[in-house]
Amino acid sequence: MKKAVNDLKEHIKAVDVLVHNGGCMIHEQQFTKEGIEKNFATNTFGVYFLTTLMMPMMNPTSRTIVVSSGGCLTEKLVIDDLYMNEEKFNGTVQYSRNKRQQVCMV
């Protein structure tokens, strides 16, 4: 992401709207090479990290839009077991929790 944002900075001066519309639902617990559970990495951390990297290119009137899912309505906000290690991993539940986390970040 850092490389992509740095490359983007060479071509544009400002961002008026940033839309997050990516997502994944992996049904087996898998981790990135950095040790982040892959659903969380894509659905929650990726949104936070990319937005943070883009902020220097945004101004007070810029907007960030996060496309979530109705799945967020099926799960409570969970912040103490982000990778779902303390219970049997369920990709659908993890996805729904991640979508709830997205809504709470905005």
Angle between helices 46-54 and 91-105 (to 10 degrees): 30
Domain interval for residue 51:
2-105
Instruction: Give Cα separations from 66 to 32, 51, 74 (angstroms).
Output: 22, 10, 18
pLDDT at 23: 92
- % of the chain surpassing 90 pLDDT: 94
Q: What is the pTM of this model?
A: 0.89
Q: What is the CATH number of the domain that holds 86?
A: 3.40.50.720
Tens digits of residue pLDDT in 57-85: 999 999 999 999 998 999 999 999 999 99
Helix/strand number for the chain, H first, E second = 4, 2
Q: Which residues are catalytic?
A: 95
How many folded domains does the chain comprise? 1
Tens digits of residue pLDDT in 24-59: 999 999 999 999 999 999 999 999 999 999 999 999
